[in-house]
């Protein structure tokens, strides 16, 4: 350790510059008597006959309170204190002598010995005992914070062990102040027993969530600690100083006096503190703009909130600032909190989620840009190394602020949100980083933030809710900035204005306050200064500006000023431009009713305007303080938005490390050099959103939702070729024709549509053929089977050798049978539609690999779908492929073929069995009159059976013939099928009649039997299967008529029976055969072979 004289001088310098805190305990004493706290503990123990080994005041007080009550405990403490204390001892007098007006003193003493010492030395101080006292901080006075309360405020006392454990919860504001001091100041502990478990517990409570990297602390101990305890405190960053407290304080008091009396050399410019400085703005009010750090001078009415939030940020590693839209969250952070953090040597980098680049990159650039403005040089290593190096250089924490964090849920998809949340968790948990994270978001997004708690434990533990302005704070926000500009508010106007701005809940919206005040100020300045060519006239220094109630009334009051400002700004445009202005403003509002920052090109597309025209309108709105304009560098590594994405290997997604690493790239790295600037715009405040929302109909907001989906998912498409979700695609499809897309965005939608749908014709028309083809070819590498299968199917519409080769590869190599079949079907389409050379490429590729079962299966599938491929097949394989195709079709339609044959068999049996069967049976008897009834019935059954078998044979044969034509052969050829079916029926019927004539006639009449059978077979079948495009009823009548005619002829040739018998047989046969071959209502001959 350095010599005590040198260390004392350094501590005195820290006290003189307000960088050290005196932490005074109960054990500080000048005499050898036990500390007063121990004497009080023993006195209380004696009163209740306390016998436990733990004789500390907290343990004894706990039992005392249990036995006699809280009031009795307080009374006893007061009595014992009066016995022990007569006045400040020399040690406390030295403390009072050493401290300066800005010094902060923390103490765990609840007596008033320090106050008496300060009074004795006539040093004014502010006493902080409760959270409610914190706003009374006064930098011109000594601040005395009594962490365990004050004996004169009994309900503030923290005495018992239970009280100590509950300290953080009971006094959150004071706890934040204490933790902030621990994080940013050098602590000097006086009067503490470092061996005490109670003190260790308290110390760990305060420092639990702080970074391991913080300033060195010192503890003055009268006697050396044992080596273990000394090593323990060294690990806690506390150096023990073995020194007599009296001598130490005498030296320190003398060193402080010498320090303040010695002229200081001018200190070099602190560029960190320079960040909070800025010239006075051109006017005292911000209208709808947010306050920036440079506006700290005119930011008023939020002193208490600024100090509390600054302490909370320093005290905790992660803080959530939230509030209603319009409560002034960003302004509080920028103009109220950031200057206080800079004074504590904290580097504050602020960024906002944006759709144009990943959040990790936005955070990195914000940190680099802020650090460079503060004179810090980034190392050419990782983000974390940069933070560690800079925290050493600053001797203070680095604060990373994520403003408008609700945008995080609007512009990033779930994968990007998860990646960022994991990074937040890593930063939060790494205690080697002296880093603070601050999230600022609207209150209505707390529910969505809660979804990240599993990824970022403790995300919502430390919160700060910002209320809107109260009446007195609003008054200060009006009066204080005006004074800086030689302006005054008439008291009647102030009261009237605050009355009109106050809501039923009793609060005032900061943007409304600022907008009305700015309008009144500009009006007063113009009246005071006369016409000015400047857009924002400034009053002359020697001429006061007065804001009066009379003029406020003339302007129409608050409602007229607020309600008309936006409408008047739009109405100032030419009439033809006003709808475009509304569309451009609408583009800057999300479908969820939140303002959003967008690049100029995206905004221009919303209104279907050239970027130049849109920029002209937007810049005018910026000058009217309705918009903010941003210029951000576009880096080569992120310029993919203007280029088509490279093919992506879906089988090798990027690693987590590559997605989350934040690298500070060396300045000589060419890929990190900006090539140009991107212009973006954003509404100045959410207060404008409701009026803009009412301007535009639901159709616009539905289209806006589609635009947001595309913007949100496009980065993942460019980086990983990630497709849209199906539900998102449906939303976009519903808005097609109403949403303008870039070619690159159209490619993303086309790929998604191709992966999920059969009809992609609309999106194909928006892109050149070569781009469509490239997108579908890239989709063939997708991880999932369905997108690959659909991509292969759609590629069949692109007659190109490269497509043919890709489809062949897919048909041979893909692991999914569905994809292979889809590729074969696509090749079939090429065979049918593409020029022969293109088709030949695919067929030759498959033939060359025919030894591969997959290639043979593909050829069979293609030949099955496109018989014309025969012309492209070598003769050596053509027959083999054709036979396998027939076998494939037979197997595929086995059920239909069997059903068709059974129906033919059944129809034929019924037609001839009940038509000819009765005639055959009865005609076989010589004299029916002599036969018994049962004999006659037996003959009828026999005849039906014989004729039925004949009909079934003919029906089954003809149905088989029809099934071959319908399901096995390549082409329909209706006439050939009709002729073949009729011929088969005639031949089978003729042979059957020849056979039957021998049985029933005794001697066969060959010629007549053959002629009658052929005539009946042809006559019954021909009209039943004829390819006639007429109604079913007409065809049934023709079949019946044909049956009657042919049977009458056959009756004359062969049967020689009554005409009525012939007519009845023909009628039954014609109807039966028609039903046999038309068993479904649809005409079988009209069903194309594409059913295969």
The string of pLDDT tens digits covering residues 397-408 is 899 999 999 889
Best-predicted range by mean pLDDT (291-300, 542-551, 818-827):
291-300
Position 970 scores a pLDDT of 80
Position 80 scores a pLDDT of 87
Position 1015 scores a pLDDT of 86
Residue 654 has pLDDT above 50, yes or no: no
Across-strand partners of 635? Answer: 674
Token reading at 65: 């309170």
Token reading at 17: 């510059």
Distance (Å, whole) CA 795 – CA 816: 17
- List the one residue out of 204, 217, 216 whose CA is nearest residue 167: 204
Other CB atoms within a 10 A radius of the CB of residue 1081 amount to 6
Position 889 scores a pLDDT of 87
Q: Find the mean pLDDT for residues 862-877.
A: 80
Residue 898 has pLDDT above 80, yes or no: yes
Confidence at 653, pLDDT banded by 50, 70, 90: very low
Position 973 scores a pLDDT of 78
Rg (CA), the chain: 48
Burial annotation 979-1012 (CB, 10 A radius, 16+ → b, else e): ebbbbbbbbbbbbbbbebbeeeeeebbeebbbbb
Residue 647 has pLDDT above 50, yes or no: no
Q: Identify whether the C-beta of residue 868 lies closer than 8 Å to the C-beta of residue 862.
A: no
Residue 643 has pLDDT above 50, yes or no: no
Distance (Å, whole) CA 783 – CA 793: 17
Q: Identify whether the C-beta of residue 421 lies closer than 8 Å to the C-beta of residue 409.
A: no
For 210-250, how does the pLDDT look when each residue is reduced to its tens digit (9 = 90+)? 766 677 899 998 888 888 998 988 888 899 988 888 888 88
Which of 185-194, 348-357, 1063-1072 shows the lowest per-residue confidence on average (mean pLDDT)? 1063-1072
Which of 62-76, 304-318, 966-980 shows the lowest per-residue confidence on average (mean pLDDT)? 966-980
Confidence at 336, pLDDT banded by 50, 70, 90: very high
Distance (Å, whole) CA 474 – CA 444: 24
Q: Find the mean pLDDT for residues 337-359.
A: 88
Distance (Å, whole) CA 197 – CA 513: 53
Token reading at 1071: 């109807």
Q: Find the mean pLDDT for residues 760-775.
A: 92
CA distances from 875 to 493, 861, 872, 882 (A): 102, 18, 9, 11
Token reading at 380: 């050419």
Position 1087 scores a pLDDT of 44
- Total length of the chain: 1092
Residue 957 has pLDDT above 60, yes or no: yes
Of the CA atoms within 13 Å of residue 710, those in its CB half-sphere come to 29
Residue 977 has pLDDT above 60, yes or no: yes
Residue 267 has pLDDT above 60, yes or no: no
Residue 270 has pLDDT above 90, yes or no: no
Q: Identify whether the C-beta of residue 779 lies closer than 8 Å to the C-beta of residue 791.
A: yes
CA distances from 775 to 524, 750, 802 (A): 62, 8, 13
Of the CA atoms within 13 Å of residue 608, those in its CB half-sphere come to 5
Q: Mean of the per-residue pLDDT values for the chain? A: 82
Helix ranges (H only) for 531-609 are 549-554, 557-571, 578-587, 600-606
Distance (Å, whole) CA 792 – CA 807: 7
Percent of the residues in the chain that have a pLDDT greater than 70, as a whole number = 87
Distance (Å, whole) CA 407 – CA 423: 17
What is the pairing mode between strands 627-635 and 674-683? Answer: antiparallel
Q: Identify whether the C-beta of residue 13 lies closer than 8 Å to the C-beta of residue 265.
A: no
Q: Identify whether the C-beta of residue 373 lies closer than 8 Å to the C-beta of residue 273.
A: no
Distance (Å, whole) CA 332 – CA 334: 6
Residue 104 has pLDDT above 70, yes or no: yes
Q: Find the mean pLDDT for residues 1046-1056.
A: 74
Residue 534 has pLDDT above 70, yes or no: no
For 405-421, how does the pLDDT look when each residue is reduced to its tens digit (9 = 90+)? 988 988 888 888 899 99
Residue 1081 has pLDDT above 70, yes or no: no
For 708-751, how does the pLDDT look when each residue is reduced to its tens digit (9 = 90+)? 999 888 888 888 888 999 999 999 999 988 898 999 999 999 99
Which residue in this structure is represented by tokens 């900035």? 481
Token reading at 283: 């006017």
Token reading at 751: 């790929």
For 549-569, how does the pLDDT look when each residue is reduced to its tens digit (9 = 90+)? 999 998 888 877 876 788 888
Percent of the residues in the chain that have a pLDDT greater than 90, as a whole number = 24
Residue 522 has pLDDT above 60, yes or no: yes
158 Cβ neighbours under 8 A, 6+ residues apart: 110, 147, 148, 149, 164, 166, 167, 170
Q: Find the mean pLDDT for residues 1007-1029.
A: 83
783 Cβ neighbours under 8 A, 6+ residues apart: 650, 651
Q: Identify whether the C-beta of residue 332 lies closer than 8 Å to the C-beta of residue 304.
A: no
Q: Find the mean pLDDT for residues 764-774.
A: 92
Instruction: Please tell me the pTM assigned to this model.
Output: 0.62
Q: Find the mean pLDDT for residues 629-633.
A: 77
């Amino acid at each position: 350790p350095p010599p005590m004289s040198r260390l004392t001088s350094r501590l005195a310098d820290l006290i003189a510059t307000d960088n050290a805190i005196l932490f005074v305990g109960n054990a500080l004493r000048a005499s050898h008597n036990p500390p007063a706290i121990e004497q009080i503990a023993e006195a209380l123990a004696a009163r209740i006959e306390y016998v436990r080994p733990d004789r500390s005041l907290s343990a004894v007080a706990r039992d005392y309170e249990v036995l006699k009550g809280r009031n009795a405990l307080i009374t006893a403490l007061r009595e014992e204190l009066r016995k022990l204390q007569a006045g400040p001892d020399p040690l406390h007098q030295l403390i009072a002598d050493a401290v300066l007006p800005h010094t902060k003193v923390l103490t765990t003493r609840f007596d008033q010995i320090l106050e008496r010492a300060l009074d004795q030395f006539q040093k004014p101080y502010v006493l902080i005992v409760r959270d409610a006292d914190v706003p009374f901080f006064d930098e011109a006075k000594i601040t005395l914070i009594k962490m365990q309360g004050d004996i004169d405020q009994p309900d503030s006392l923290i005495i018992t062990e239970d009280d100590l454990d509950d300290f953080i919860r009971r006094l959150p504001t004071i706890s934040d102040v204490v933790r902030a001091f621990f994080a940013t100041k050098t602590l000097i502990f006086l009067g503490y027993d470092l061996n005490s478990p109670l003190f260790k517990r308290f110390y760990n409570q305060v420092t639990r969530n702080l970074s391991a990297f913080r300033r060195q602390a010192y503890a003055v101990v009268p006697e050396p600690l044992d080596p273990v305890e000394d090593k323990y405190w060294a690990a806690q960053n506390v150096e023990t100083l073995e020194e007599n407290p009296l001598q130490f304080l005498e030296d320190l008091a003398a060193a402080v006096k010498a320090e303040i009396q010695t002229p200081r050399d001018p200190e070099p410019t602190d560029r960190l503190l320079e960040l909070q400085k800025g010239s006075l703005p051109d006017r005292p009010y911000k209208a709808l703009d947010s306050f920036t750090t440079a506006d700290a001078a005119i930011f008023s009415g939020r002193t208490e909130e600024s100090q509390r939030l600054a302490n909370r940020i320093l005290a905790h590693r992660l803080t959530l600032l939230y509030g209603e839209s319009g409560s002034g969250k960003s302004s509080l952070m920028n103009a109220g909190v950031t200057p206080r953090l800079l004074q504590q040597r904290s580097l504050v980098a602020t960024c906002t989620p944006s759709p144009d680049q990943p959040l990790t990159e936005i955070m990195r650039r914000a940190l680099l840009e802020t650090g460079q403005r503060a004179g810090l040089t980034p190392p050419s290593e990782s983000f974390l190394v940069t933070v560690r190096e800079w925290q050493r250089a600053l001797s203070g924490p680095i604060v990373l602020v994520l403003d408008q964090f609700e945008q995080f849920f609007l512009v990033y998809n779930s994968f990007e949100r998860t990646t960022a949340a994991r990074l937040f968790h890593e930063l939060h948990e790494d205690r080697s980083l002296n880093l603070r994270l601050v999230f600022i978001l609207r209150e209505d997004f707390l529910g969505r933030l809660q979804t990240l708690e599993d990824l970022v434990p403790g995300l919502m533990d430390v919160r700060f809710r910002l209320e809107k302005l109260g009446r007195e704070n609003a008054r200060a926000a009006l009066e204080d900035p005006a004074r800086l500009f030689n302006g005054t508010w008439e008291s009647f106007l102030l009261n009237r204005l605050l009355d009109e701005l106050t809501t039923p809940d009793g609060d005032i919206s900061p943007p409304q306050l600022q907008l009305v005040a700015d309008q009144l100020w500009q009006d007063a300045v113009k009246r005071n200064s006369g016409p000015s060519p400047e857009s924002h006239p400034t009053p002359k220094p020697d001429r006061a500006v007065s804001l009066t109630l009379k003029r406020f009334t003339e302007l129409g009051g608050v409602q007229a000023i607020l309600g008309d400002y936006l409408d008047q700004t739009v109405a100032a445009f030419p009439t033809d431009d006003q709808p475009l202005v509304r569309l451009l403003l609408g583009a800057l509002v999300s479908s969820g009713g939140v303002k959003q920052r967008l690049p100029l090109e995206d905004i221009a597309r919303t209104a279907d305007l050239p970027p130049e025209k849109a920029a002209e309108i937007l810049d005018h709105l910026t000058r009217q303080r309705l918009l903010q304009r941003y210029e951000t560098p576009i880096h080569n590594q992120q310029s993919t938005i203007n280029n088509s994405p490279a093919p992506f290997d879906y089988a090798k997604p990027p690693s987590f490390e590559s997605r989350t690493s934040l690298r500070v790239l060396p300045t000589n790295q060419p890929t990190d050099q900006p090539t140009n600037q991107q212009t973006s715009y954003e509404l100045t405040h959410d207060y404008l959103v409701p009026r803009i929302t009412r301007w535009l109909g639901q159709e616009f907001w539905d289209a806006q939702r589609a635009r947001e989906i595309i913007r949100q998912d496009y980065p993942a498409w460019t980086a990983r070729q990630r497709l849209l979700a199906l539900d998102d695609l449906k939303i976009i499809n519903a808005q097609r024709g109403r949403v303008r897309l870039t070619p690159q965005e159209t490619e993303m939608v086309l790929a998604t549509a191709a992966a999920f749908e059969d009809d992609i014709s609309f999106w194909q028309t928006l892109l050149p053929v070569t781009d469509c083809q490239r997108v579908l070819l890239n989709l063939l590498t997708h991880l999932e089977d369905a997108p690959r299968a659909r991509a292969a199917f759609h590629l069949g519409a692109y007659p190109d050798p490269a497509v043919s080769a890709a489809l062949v590869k897919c048909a041979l190599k893909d692991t999914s049978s569905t994809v292979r079949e889809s590729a074969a079907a696509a090749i079939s389409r090429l065979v049918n539609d593409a020029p022969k050379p293109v088709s030949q490429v695919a067929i030759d590729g498959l033939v060359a690999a025919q030894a591969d079962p997959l290639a043979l299966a593909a050829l069979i599938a293609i030949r099955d779908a496109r018989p014309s491929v025969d012309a492209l097949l070598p003769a050596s394989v053509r027959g083999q492929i054709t036979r396998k195709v027939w076998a494939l079709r037979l197997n595929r339609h086995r059920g239909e073929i069997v059903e068709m044959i059974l129906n033919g068999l059944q129809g034929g049996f019924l037609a001839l069995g009940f038509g000819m069967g009765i005639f055959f049976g009865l005609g076989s008897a010589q004299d029916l009159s002599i036969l018994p009834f049962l004999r006659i019935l037996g003959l009828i059954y026999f005849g039906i059976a014989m004729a039925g078998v004949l009909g079934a044979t003919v029906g089954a044969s003809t149905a088989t013939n029809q099934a071959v034509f319908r399901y096995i052969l390549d082409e329909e050829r209706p006439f050939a099928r009709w002729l073949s079916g009729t011929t088969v029926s005639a031949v089978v019927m003729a042979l059957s009649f020849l056979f039957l004539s021998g049985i029933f006639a005794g001697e066969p009449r060959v010629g007549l039997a053959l002629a009658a059978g052929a005539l009946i077979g042809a006559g019954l079948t021909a009209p039943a299967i004829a390819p006639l495009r007429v109604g079913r009823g007409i065809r049934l009548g023709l079949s019946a008529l044909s049956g009657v005619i042919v049977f009458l002829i056959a009756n004359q040739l062969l049967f020689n029976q009554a005409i009525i018998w012939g007519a009845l047989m023909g009628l039954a046969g014609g109807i039966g055969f028609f039903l046999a071959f038309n068993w479904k209502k649809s005409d079988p001959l009209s069903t194309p072979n594409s059913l295969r």
